[in-house]
Structure 1
Amino acid sequence: MVEKNSKKLSASFEDNIRYMNEILPVAESFDIIRRDIIIGGKASVFYYIDGFIKDEVMLKIMDSFLSVEDKDMPEDAEGFIQQLVPYVEVDIAEDFDQVIRNVLSGPAALFIEGYKECIILDCRTYPARSVDEPDKDKSLRGSRDGFVETIVFNTALMRRRIRDPHLIMEMMEAGQASRTDIAVCYISDRVDKELLDNLKKRIENLQLEDLRMNQQSLAEALFKRKWFNPFPKFKYTERPDTAAACLLEGKVVVLVDNSPSALILPTSILDMIEEANDYYFPTVTAVYLKVTRTIITIATVFFTPLYLLFMQNLEWLPDVFEFVAVRDTVNIPLIFQFLLLEISIDGLRLAAMNTPTMLSTPLSVIAGIVMGEFSVQSGWFNSEVMLYMAFVAVANYTQPNFELGYALKFMRLMLLILTALFDLYGFIAGCILIICFLVFNKTLSGRNYLNIKLN
């Protein structure tokens, strides 16, 4: 753990080096490097992290420093930067907290004898993968790039799309130990000022040891959700084009270092079920896709509970729909069939996530055949129940938000149980509870999913 220390740098070069050696485990950690050189006849020390430094850039900088003569040395660090540093990203630090934070983040710290300030050279590079299109949030048309775990790359992907001087990207940090970088991005002449001020104030006042799970830890700390309301408070995206479109709509985008997705607010239920294809198709097609996705999303919640309700009250079933009634012998009550299949589908999903790619397709086919064919023949499940649960399982993927998918699943389970226990009254009570979950799901903006202001 690195303790925050606002101690000012000393005018004594030896005291500064001694203090840095006490704070940084130079002798114990192989990747924390101390490099002693002579610049213009003065003793100088570099501190940096091996693996974060661009070797070629650092080599050229040191080469230029070694060619400096005694008579060319300025009197202070500011003059040294202006006259002798052949690099663009340079800053001056006057306290140890700023120096240590920079060193552990990647930039190199340079102490020169006779200077009371430290020179920060930001010649870092982070290990990063390519900006490929994310697997979860694909688009049939449009760009094929996606966010990565390096925050500077992510801000550049959005800046490339919005060449507006009003686009602001403020850098903040959270976590006493992790010192995780957080970028708050917005367009100053379009953003909701009240929401922006509220968000920045919350980030500044965070009292956290670290952000263990990066973006998720930040989201949980920013807005403590009610444990019984599963609906997400934020929208996430791994696509820079979607994030840029949200910025242009006046929303705030929050990026967290080491996280390949952006957190977007404010949000509503319609924002949650929106996806990238809605921006790339003509108006008629986009509206059709949104309406279809909305209908299917609603169907995933009410389809199986309604079927259970009608099977418990066959006299309500219209003659035209008599063919949907269960004809086979029911060995297990319908409610238990639905609940068992809900758990089984999640089991298959978790197994698929941990299955090697080369085996995922054949194992999925085998699992589908075994569950679909043999479970019906063995008498555990009815074919109708299998069909409707298969529709629900596939329909869950029509909207891209993973967290929303599970929130809808919990609503469906609640409806199934209430309908099985209390018949029509249970179904009505479940519908009222779902509406309450949506209406009273207060987000960071102070509004609910229906965009109604809550006190």
Structure 2
Amino acid sequence: MMDEQDERPDKRAERKSKHAAGDSRQKEQSDNEKKFSPIPQDLDEVLERLKNEVGYGTSFDIVVREMSFGDKRVAFFFMNGLANSLLLSNLINRLTFLNPDHLSGDAFKMFFNEYLPSSQAVKQEDWNKILTSVLSGNTALFIDEEPFAIDIDAKNFPGRGPEEPSIERVVRGSRDGFTETLMTNVSLIRRRLRDPQLRYELVRVGARTQTDICIAYINDLVDKELLEAIKDKIKAVKLDGLPLADKQLEEATVKRGWNPFPNVRYSERPDVVSAHMLEGAVVVLVDTSPSVMILPTTFFDLIQHAEENRQTPFIGTYLRWVRFAGIFASLFLLPLWILFVMHPEYKPSALDFLGPEKTGKLPLVVQFLLAEVGVDLMRMAAVHTPTPLATAMSLVAAILIGDIAVQTGVFINEVILYMAVAAIGMFATPSYELGLANRIVRLLLIIAVSAFKVPGLVIATTAVLILLCTERSFNRPYMWPFIPFDLRALMNIILRPPVLQNRFRPNLLRPQRREKMPKPE
């Protein structure tokens, strides 16, 4: 009896939760039904709604062209500058061939079914959807006394052609890069991956911007759980808009807080993106952005460059090691030098020449902090300076200001030298976001060493390592294959393997098919 009494409250609670879930589903369905708005059959009412809702008659780029074909009044609604005028002209010419004597409401349906491909025109009965479609570049054809509109795909976005990315340049390799037009970027990937399993799913985010977001993956390779997690996070974004495109989407989905290390790898190269997709990664393309997000990513993905795979395995490995050394120097060269200067007893006898002959008018820590700020100022000035003046600005900043600062005693020669080495190592980092994060870590290490000497360096380094080891990118360990340890994958990072020896896809992505190629006989 006691067991039955204990079970009754649980059953009641379960029934209540089911009823609540059912009520929420009904409410959600009713909300979706409210969102549906039928298209008025009266063309005059359509024009009046266009004036009130989208600013027809006020905004000069909103175009409505009224025409008559036979006994039917029609109106073309499109955005000036986003519509393909040539396609619309051909469409109007074809409409003039309709016989007025046999024209009826079904004639337009038959016309579009017979004379236009299905991919170019569809019938739309929802007012809100037709408005969003036109604002995205399509053209709407409203027909008097008809409860629908014809949604015509006649986009013609202004944009530039594919160019070589300014960040991910290579000596050997393709020169095309992503642009701000989504269809161009999709085509660049499709050109390299002629795989029937390649999938492009379109999602719109932003209540006002209605930004097109494309989720791309290879269906028989990608981990379905990872794919669904990414799609759920993107669909759950509730923002007014994404005017800054992919960066705002990253912050809304990853939600990293104040962690400086990037959890997303950006790339503007179609070959790099295609290579990651062949390993089972998911990529996200955002309209109006030339950068593509590769998900998930690791710390070691961010320090690899396409140039390594454009050279022989030996040269690629050498380039990779040089890059690793540059990144290590950008992080630890300045803190270690400050530590050796402040505590010469820790300095090996072979490094006695590292000490400065004079310390200058300012403390060494202050000199390094000022030099860090100076490098950032020069970088920002180079970005904002017109290209013809950028070279002159760099010469003035690097030579004149640096030389005068040394002569006046504000800086010593060693500070300028080691700061330059650290800056070069930072700029050698393939990921711009990781380079900025490493700069923050370097500042933290410099301050920790100056304040707490050896314990400060050890504690700060340990804190950064703990942060990296506990970080996850879409539920994948950020420091893989170091933690958790994977020897095969770690060797593929230390060495650039030959193509025929790189037979397996990384375990991190949990691909449906591990092998890239059959085992050689």
Measured against the shorter chain, the TM-score band is: over 0.9
Q: Which residue, 389, 393, 396 being the options, matches 1:363?
A: 393
Could you tell me how far apart the structure 2 residues matched to 1:19 and 1:5 are?
Answer: 16
Shift of 1:406: 1.0
Q: SS state of the match for residue 300, structure 2?
A: helix
Question: Could you tell me which residue of structure 2 aligns to residue 91 of structure 1?
Answer: 122
Matched, 1:101 2:128: no
Deviations 1:263-317 (A, max 9, x none): 1111001111112212222222222222221222122101110111111111222
Matched, 1:55 2:71: no
Q: SS state of the match for residue 78, structure 2?
A: strand
Maintained 8 Å contact 1:52/1:125 = yes
Deviations 1:35-62 (A, max 9, x none): 1112243111110001111111111111
Distance 1:332 1:169, change over 3 A: same
Maintained 8 Å contact 1:173/1:181 = yes
Matched, 1:195 2:226: yes
Shift of 1:154: 0.6
Shift of 1:423: 0.6
Shift of 1:12: 4.8
Maintained 8 Å contact 2:213/2:284 = yes
Question: Could you tell me which residue of structure 1 aligns to residue 516 of structure 2?
Answer: none
Matched, 1:128 2:150: no
Maintained 8 Å contact 1:266/1:444 = yes
Could you tell me how far apart the structure 2 residues matched to 1:77 and 1:305 are?
Answer: 75
Question: Could you tell me which residue of structure 2 aligns to residue 335 of structure 1?
Answer: 365
Maintained 8 Å contact 1:65/1:84 = no
Matched, 1:204 2:235: yes
Could you tell me how far apart the structure 2 residues matched to 1:288 and 1:375 are?
Answer: 37
- Taking the TM superposition and a 5 Å limit, the aligned residue runs for 1:394-433 are 394-433=424-463
Question: Could you tell me which residue of structure 1 aligns to residue 304 of structure 2?
Answer: 274
Distance 1:86 1:450, change over 3 A: closer
Shift of 1:82: 1.0
Question: Could you tell me which residue of structure 2 aligns to residue 292 of structure 1?
Answer: 322
Question: Could you tell me which residue of structure 1 aligns to residue 356 of structure 2?
Answer: 326
Maintained 8 Å contact 2:197/2:219 = yes
Distance 1:121 1:383, change over 3 A: same
Distance 1:39 1:84, change over 3 A: farther
Q: Which residue, 334, 338, 344 being the options, matches 1:314?
A: 344
- Taking the TM superposition and a 5 Å limit, the aligned residue runs for 1:4-403 are 5-70=35-100, 71=102, 73=104, 75=106, 78-85=109-116, 88-227=119-258, 229-403=259-433
Matched, 1:437 2:467: yes
Maintained 8 Å contact 1:147/1:261 = yes
Shift of 1:416: 0.6
Provide the identity percentage: 35
Could you tell me how far apart the structure 1 residues matched to 2:196 and 2:103 are?
Answer: 39
Maintained 8 Å contact 1:93/1:118 = yes
Could you tell me how far apart the structure 2 residues matched to 1:189 and 1:302 are?
Answer: 43
Match of 1:374, as an amino acid? I
Q: SS state of the match for residue 460, structure 2?
A: helix
Shift of 1:203: 1.4
Q: SS state of the match for residue 52, structure 1?
A: coil
Maintained 8 Å contact 1:38/1:66 = no
Unaligned runs of 5+ in 1: none
Distance 1:77 1:288, change over 3 A: farther
Higher alpha-carbon deviation: 88-97 or 65-74: 65-74
Match of 1:105, as an amino acid? S
Maintained 8 Å contact 1:44/1:113 = yes
Shift of 1:353: 1.2
Shift of 1:20: 3.6
Could you tell me how far apart the structure 1 residues matched to 2:158 and 2:197 are?
Answer: 30
Deviations 1:120-171 (A, max 9, x none): 1111100001211011111111110111111111101111111001110111
Maintained 8 Å contact 1:73/1:80 = no
Maintained 8 Å contact 1:93/1:120 = yes
Shift of 1:113: 2.7
Shift of 1:249: 1.3
Higher alpha-carbon deviation: 404-413 or 18-27: 18-27
Shift of 1:30: 1.0
Q: SS state of the match for residue 376, structure 1?
A: helix
Maintained 8 Å contact 1:52/1:124 = yes
RMSD: 1.9
Maintained 8 Å contact 1:5/1:96 = no
Shift of 1:14: 4.7
Unaligned runs of 5+ in 2: 1-33, 485-507, 509-521
Could you tell me how far apart the structure 2 residues matched to 1:293 and 1:429 are?
Answer: 26
Could you tell me how far apart the structure 2 residues matched to 1:392 and 1:301 are?
Answer: 7
Maintained 8 Å contact 1:309/1:419 = yes
Could you tell me how far apart the structure 2 residues matched to 1:248 and 1:149 are?
Answer: 24
TM-score normalised over the length of structure 1 = 0.94
Could you tell me how far apart the structure 2 residues matched to 1:108 and 1:131 are?
Answer: 26
Shift of 1:259: 0.6
Match of 2:404, as an amino acid? F
Could you tell me how far apart the structure 2 residues matched to 1:84 and 1:381 are?
Answer: 76
Could you tell me how far apart the structure 2 residues matched to 1:47 and 1:235 are?
Answer: 40
Distance 1:77 1:197, change over 3 A: farther
Maintained 8 Å contact 1:77/1:115 = no
Deviations 1:44-83 (A, max 9, x none): 1110001111111111111111221131556275433212
Distance 1:411 1:72, change over 3 A: same
Maintained 8 Å contact 2:214/2:286 = yes
Maintained 8 Å contact 2:71/2:103 = no
Which has the larger Rg? 2
Shift of 1:27: 0.9
Maintained 8 Å contact 2:38/2:147 = no
Q: SS state of the match for residue 474, structure 2?
A: coil
Maintained 8 Å contact 1:48/1:109 = yes
Maintained 8 Å contact 2:105/2:146 = no
TM-score normalised over the length of structure 2 = 0.83
